[in-house]
Amino acid sequence: MMPVQDACACLRFSTDGLPEAARAKAVRELYERTNLPGKLEPLEPLPNCPVRADITKRALPGLGVMSGTFCGLRQATRRRGSVSSGEDDLLLAVNLRGHSTAQQRDRELILQDGDAVLGTRGSTGFTITRPTPVRFIGFRVPRDAIAALVGRLDDAPLRVVPHGTEMLNLLVTYAGAITGERSPQTPDFQRLVVTHIHDLIAAIVGATRDGRAIAEGRGIRAARLRAIIADVDTNLGDCDLTAAAVARRQRVTPRYVHKLFEGEGLTFSAFVLGRRLSCAHRMLSDPRLGDRTIGSVAFDVGFGDLSYFNRAFRRRYDATPSEVRQSAELPRR
């Protein structure tokens, strides 16, 4: 499959539609064929390994994000100043699933599920080898962009950021917003996303005390809110879903959870109610679920009281659950 770019500085590329024999050539040529800001790092197929690449790369001012799957490939990160732009980036690659090896000179690091490798280009660059399938997400940011938060940032050896690291988890959760369907479209939203990711990467690198305070009020707060929203969506069917339960899973206090929603002009309970009603409305509007009783739909989205569900639904949609279902079942003309 040839690379496809869109107006949002986005590259999509996959070998899935290519014959096995053509895949190695396609990934070698990808580096030369793309002119996306923040050029793709060169890829080299590994001998005696099946080759697969299925990636999306987005370039925003001050940020590059690439996600997808690599298999049977070695990715070479160019040394500092090796291209015309003189790029001097900080790079963070996260193994969402799978194993890979990062190497810089004689230093070799093994990455397992959930681990990340953090490094600068340095005078030699470095490589990441993925002989077996690895689902990943990678970030690159100009070192100057986070210098105000971390202080002096000299070249340093590659290092592993272990899986389970709080800031790494928050970064991965937050980045889902720009690698999925909710990509930032407006310039203001793009700048906000870039700032937040800079904050999170700075916290991973090791922000100064003042830098950490700034990041806490911007990117870390935004990422924690997104993680809490994802937690709510995952556990929506739990009738006992509370701020305290979410706080325990997210390792924050219930008061912090409430403050995050207060900052958005909401209460936690109102947010959960709205999420449950929206989910119920989608289910009732889906003709494929027409055999489900209204009571079972209400229970599945976390309502324990059918009368309360009916009242709340009607206040929200100015229609009863039965009326919404009947509208969905009307034949099209």
Residue 205's H or E segment, with its range, is helix 187-205
**Confidence tier at 36 by pLDDT (50, 70, 90):** low
156 with 248, same domain: the answer is no
Is 234 among the domain residues? no
CATH number, domain containing residue 273 = 1.10.10.60
- 158 and 254 belong to one structural domain: no
Alpha carbon distance 216, 2 (integer Å): 41
CATH number for the domain spanning 8: value is 2.60.120.10
pLDDT(88) > 60:
yes
Give phi and psi for 74, each to the nearest 5. Answer: -115, 125
The CA-based angle 199-142-176, given to 5 degrees, is 50
What's residue 331's pLDDT?
A: 53
Looking at the fold, whether 126 and 258 belong to one and the same domain comes out as: no
Beta strands in 198-297 (DSSP E): none
Q: Alpha carbon of 12 to those of 9, 35, 60, 178: distances in Å? A: 10, 13, 15, 14
The model's confidence at residue 1, banded by pLDDT at 50, 70 and 90, is very low
pLDDT-derived band at 187, boundaries 50, 70, 90: confident
Q: Do 137 and 248 fall within a single domain?
A: no
**Mean pLDDT throughout 165-180?**
86
Find the angle CA(179)-CA(184)-CA(189) to the nearest 5 degrees.
Answer: 140
172 belongs to a structural domain: no
Which helix (H) or strand (E) segment holds residue 22: the answer is helix 20-33
247 and 163 co-located in one domain: no
Mean pLDDT of the region 267-294: 95
Same domain membership, residue 140 and residue 34:
yes
Does residue 215 lie within any of the structural domains?
Answer: no
The residue behind tokens 């002096």 is 152
User: Which of the two residues, 286 and 177, has the higher pLDDT score?
Assistant: 286
**Which of 127, 147, 167 finishes a domain?**
167
| Residue 79 confidence (pLDDT) | 80
Compute the distance between CA of residue 267 and CA of residue 70 in angstroms, rounded to an integer: 42
Last residue of a domain, which of 109, 138, 167? 167
Pair 20, 104 in one domain: yes
Whether 181 is in a domain gets the answer no
Paired with 329 in beta bridges are none
Residue 306 domain-assigned (yes or no): yes
CA pair distance 272, 308, nearest whole angstrom:
14
Residues 250 and 161 in one domain: no
Q: Which helix (H) or strand (E) holds 215?
A: helix 209-215
Flag whether pLDDT at 333 surpasses 50.
Answer: no
- Domain end marker among 122, 150, 167: 167
Check residue 268 and give its pLDDT.
97
Burial of 90-116, coded b for 16+ CB within 10 Å and e otherwise, reads: bbbbbbbebbbebebeeeebebeebbb
Q: Which residue has the higher pLDDT, 73 or 38?
A: 73
Average pLDDT over residues 50-59: 93
156: in domain = yes
Looking at the fold, whether 252 and 142 belong to one and the same domain comes out as no
Task: Provide the domain limits for residue 298.
Answer: 243-329
Tell me if 201 is assigned to some domain. Answer: no
Return the pLDDT at 120.
Answer: 87
Q: Select the more confidently predicted residue: 181 or 134.
A: 134
Q: Is 107 within 8 Å of 84 (Cβ atoms)? A: no
Higher-pLDDT residue of 265 and 88 is 265
Kindly state whether residues 150 and 279 are assigned to the same domain: no
Residues 155 and 30 in one domain: yes
- The contacts of residue 178 (CB under 8 Å, 6+ apart) are 58, 60, 65, 184, 193
Phi, psi values for residue 82, rounded to 5°: -85, -10
At 108, the pLDDT band (50, 70, 90 cuts) reads very high
Same domain, 157 and 278: no
Mean pLDDT of 290-298: 94
What phi and psi, each to the nearest 5 degrees, are found at residue 118? -120, 130
Residue 33 lies in a domain: yes
pLDDT of 117:
96
Burial of 54: CB neighbours in 10 Å, binned 0-12, 13-18, 19+: middle
Please tell me the distance from the alpha carbon of residue 39 to that of residue 33, in angstroms, as a whole number. 10
Total domains present in the chain: 2
pLDDT value, residue 183: 60
pTM, 2 dp: 0.84
pLDDT at res. 190 = 86
